[in-house]
Chain A
Amino acid sequence: MSEPVIRAERLTKKYGNAVAVDSLDLQIEPGEVFGLLGPNGAGKTTTILMLLGLTEPTSGKATVAGFDPLRQPLEVKRRAGYMPDQVGFYDNLSGLENLRYTAKLCGLRGQDADDRIQAAAKRVKLDYAMRKPVRTYSRGMRQRLGIAEILMKGASIAILDEPTSGLDPQASREFLELIRSLKNDGMTILLSSHLLEMVQSICDRVALFNRGKIGLMGKVGDLMSNVLGGTHVIRVEAEGANVAAAIAKVPGVARVAPEGGRLRVEASGDLRGDIARAVVNAGGDLKMIDAGEASLEDVYTRYFEGVPNAA
C-alpha cells in the first residue's frame, strides 16, 4: 500500500476548555477524494487549518505529503492548495493580477507564471473574465478563481473548505464536474461540506464529524449498509393499528422509524411489493409507498439522531 498523503495522528485542538478537534486519526491515500462531513462547529475548518500549519495543534501530529506542517510549513504549502470557506480576493484587482500576486508568493515569475495562470483559467472556464476586476465576479466565479489558483501553483493536494456553499444548483454541478476532473488528474482532494448530496457523488470516502470526533468513516456505500443496515430507504404512508410492526417483520427490512406522519423503512433492497403486502395483510390501509436509494443524508440523519449536536 502506498504512503498516505495526509495523515493525522491523535490530532487535538483545544480553545481554552472547549475541544474543537478531539484526538483525530485520519489517513488519506494519494488520488483519493475525501469528504469531511459534520454540522456547524464540528471541527472541520479547525482540522484543515492544522493540516496546513495555519493553526498549531494542542497535541498530536499531522503529516502532509511527508512533511510536518508545524516545522516545514513552506514545504506543505507548496504542495497543498487551499481554498478557504468563502474565499476572498482583492476586489480592486483583476483575476489575473490576483493570481499573479499568488504566483509571486509561490516564487513563480514572468512568462512561466503567466502561462500557468492562463492554462489554469482556461481549465476553470474563467479565461474570458481574467482581466475584469474581481469585484465584478459572481460567487461561482470566485470559487473557480480559487481552484485556478490551486491549479496554477501546481499543487498535488487540494484542500477545499465548503467549496459549494452559496452556489446555485447549476453552479454547484459545474463545480463538482471540475473537482471530478481534478481527481482524474490524480490530485488528492480533501473537502469539507454539509451538502451531502455533493459529497456522496464525488467522494471516495467520507468521515462524519461531530464535536471534534470522527463518528464514522468509510466508503459511502459501506456506511450506508453499516449504519442503515441497507441501501434503500422506503417511505410508507399507511393507516392501521400495527402496520409498523408488520413491516418490520418483512425479511430484509432493517429498521422502521416514524418520520413526519410516515414511516421510514430501511431495507436491503427494493422491497416495495413485500411491504405493500405486509401492510394489506395486517389490515392496514396503504396510502403511499415511495422508494429511493439511500442517500448519505439518511446516514447523516440516522447517525446524528443519537448524538447531541455540537452547534
Chain B
Amino acid sequence: MPREGSAFAGVGAVMMKELADNLSSTRMRLLEGLIFITGAGAVYSTIGAVKEVIGEDPFIFLRVFTTGIPPLPSFVGFLGFLIPIIAIALGFDGVNGEFNRRTMSRILAQPIYRDGLLFGKFLAGLATISMALTALWLFVIGLGIWMMGLPPSTEEVMRSLAFLVASIAYGGVWLALAMLFSVIFRSAATAALAALSVWLLFAFFWQMLVVLLTPIIAPADPYSVASQVHTVEVGLGLSRLSPNTLFSETALAFLNPAERGQNLGVLLPQQLQGAISGPLPFAESVGLVWPQVAGLFASFILLFTIAYVLFQRQEVRA
C-alpha cells in the first residue's frame, strides 16, 4: 500500500541531535583521544625514519601512511584496527537505546517515518567518523610538512584523499553492522559484544580461518596448475569477505603507486608482459582496486538494508 509523505521527514532533525550527542559524549572523546594519540605516535616515529630517504622517493608523504616501524604497525594498520572500534562505539546502541530509554514510541509518534530515524542516526554516525578522520588526516599532513619541511605533491594529496574516502567508507560498513546489531538485540551490551566479536573475527582470526579453510574447500592438485590457481583464487575470495582485507588492499593501491596488483592477487596485462615497473598513474590505481571499493560499498548497503527491513518490522512497544 502506498504511503504518503516524505520518507526523509525528520532526517535533518534526527541527524543534528545525534551529531550533537556524538560530539559531546564522553565515549567519543575517549575514542578520539585514543586514535589521535596512537595515530600521532605512529606517524611521528615513521616520519623520523622516512626523513632519511627524502629526495629518493617521490612519494615520501605516502610513505608516512604506509611505513610501520616495528613493533608499531603503520598508520594505515592502526586505522584498519581502530576505525571499526569507533564505528561500533557510535552505532551499537543507536536503535535499542531508544527502546531502553522508552523514547522510541514517543519519537515515532511524531510526524516522521522510521526511515527518517534510521537514516538520521546513520548519517550522524558517518558524519562523526568523517570529521574525526578528516581531522586526523589534516593532522598527519600538517605534521609531515612540519617535520620534513616540504609540502605534499598534488598526486600525493589526491591519493591520500582517496584513502581518506576509503577509510570513511570502511567506517560506514562497521557503523552499519553496529546499527544492525542495535536493531537485532534489545540489550545494548549484547549488541556491542556481538559487533566486537565480528571485529575480533575479522581483525585477528580471519586470515587463519582462510588458511585453514581454503585447502578444504578447494584442494590443490600438485600436478595441475589450473587447480593451484583455483585454490589461490578461492583463498583470495574468502579473505575478501572481510572488510578489513578490502580496506587494506584499497589503502595499499591508493597509497603505494608502485602497487600493480602483485600484492592484490590481480595481474595487469603489463605485468604479464613483465616489461614495465615503476609508479602507476592515480587513475589506474583507482581502477586496480575498484572491485574492493565497490565491495566496501556493497557490504555497507547490504548491512544497512537488512537493518532497515528489520527495523521496519519491529514492534514499537518496549
**Do residues B317 and A49 form an inter-chain contact, with CB atoms below 8 A?**
yes
A72: which B residues are within 8 A, CB to CB? Answer: 3-5
What are the residues of chain B within 8 A of A41 when measuring CB–CB?
none
Looking across the interface, which residue of chain B has its beta carbon closest to that of A150? B109
Complex Cα distance, B102 from A55, in Å, reads 17
Q: Mark A84-106, 1 if CB is under 8 A from B, else 0.
A: 10111111100000000110111
Residue of B nearest to A149 (CB): B106
Interface contact A82-B105, CB-CB below 8 Å: yes
- Docked complex Cα distance between A83 and B109 (Å): 9
Which size bracket describes the interface of A in this complex? 20 to 34
| Chain B proximity of A110: nearest CB distance (Å) | 13
List the B side residues contacting A78 at CB < 8 Å.
111
Among B1-25, those with CB < 8 Å from A are: 1-5, 9-10, 12-14, 16-17, 21
Chain A neighbourhood of B3, CB < 8 A: 70-73
Cross-chain contact B111 with A106 (CB below 8 angstroms)? yes
Residues on A with C-beta less than 8 A from B113 are: 73-74
The total number of A-B Cβ pairs within 8 Å is 86
Give the Cβ gap from B288 to chain A, nearest Cβ, in Å.
Answer: 45
What does the 1/0 interface line of B83-125 toward A look like (CB < 8 Å)? 0000000000000000001110111111111000000000000
Residue B316 is within 8 A (CB to CB) of chain A in the complex: yes
| A45 touches B (CB below 8 Å) | yes
A146 to B317 Cα, complex, angstroms = 17
- A74 in contact with B111 given A49-B316, A55-B316, A101-B13 (CB within 8 Å): yes
A16 within 8 A of B: no
Taken residue by residue from 63 to 77, chain A's Cβ proximity to chain B (1 for < 8 Å, 0 otherwise) reads as: 000000011111101
For this complex, 15 residue pairs linking A to B, each with C-beta atoms less than 8 Å apart, are A54-B109, A55-B316, A71-B4, A72-B3, A84-B102, A84-B105, A89-B103, A89-B106, A90-B101, A91-B101, A92-B21, A101-B13, A104-B10, A104-B12, A105-B112
Asked whether A273 is an interface residue with its Cβ less than 8 Å from the other chain, the reply is: no
Q: In the complex where A78-B111, A82-B109, A84-B102 touch, is A105 in contact with B5 (Cβ < 8 A)?
A: no
* Closest chain A residue to B14, Cβ basis: A105
- Find chain A residues with CB under 8 A from B2 CB: 71
- Give me 10 other A-B pairs in contact (C-beta within 8 A), A73-B111, A87-B102 excluded: A52-B109, A54-B109, A72-B3, A75-B111, A84-B102, A88-B102, A88-B103, A89-B101, A106-B111, A107-B9
Is there a chain A Cβ closer than 8 Å to B315's Cβ? yes
Q: Are A77 and B102 in contact (CB under 8 A)?
A: no
Is B1 within 8 A of A105, CB to CB?
no
Q: How far is the CA of A70 from the CA of B113 in the complex (A)?
A: 11
What is the size category of the interface that chain B forms with chain A? Answer: 20 to 34
Q: How far is the CA of A92 from the CA of B97 in the complex (A)?
A: 13
In whole angstroms, how far apart are the Cα atoms of A302 and B3 in the complex? 44
Which of A74, A90, A92 meets B112, CB within 8 Å? A74
Q: Which residues of A contact B12 (CB under 8 A)?
A: 104
Evaluate contact between A75 and B4: CB separation under 8 angstroms: yes
CA distance A180 to B283 in the complex (A): 71
- Residues of chain A with a CB closer than 8 A to B5's CB: 72-75
A82-B109, A88-B101 given; A74·B9 CB < 8 A: yes
Closest 6 CB pairs of A and B: A88-B102, A104-B13, A74-B5, A82-B109, A105-B110, A74-B111
Question: Please, which residue of chain B has its CB at the minimum distance from the CB of A146?
Answer: B106
> A residues within 8 A CB of B101?
88-91
Q: Which of A71, A75, A89, A91 contacts B1 (CB 8 A)?
A: A71
* Interchain nearest-CB distance for A3 vs B (Å): 20
Shortest CB distance B26–A (Å): 11
Q: Which residues 30-81 in A have Cβ within 8 Å of B in the complex?
A: 45, 49, 52, 54-55, 70-75, 77-78, 80-81
Using Cβ atoms and an 8 Å threshold, which residues of chain A touch B110? 77, 102, 105-106, 153
Q: In the docked arrangement, what's the CA distance between A75 and B21, Å? A: 29
State in angstroms the CA–CA spacing of A81 and B315 once bound together. 19
Given known contacts A101-B13, A105-B10, is B317 in contact with A70 (CB within 8 Å)?
no
Q: Give the docked Cα–Cα distance between A52 and B105 (Å).
A: 10
**A105 with B13, Cβ < 8 A, contacts A45-B317, A70-B3 known:** yes
Cβ of B10: which chain A residues have Cβ within 8 Å of it? Answer: 104-105
Give chain B residues whose Cβ lies under 8 Å from the Cβ of A153.
110
Q: Which B residues are in CB contact (< 8 Å) with A149?
A: 106
B4→A77 contact, CB < 8 A:
no
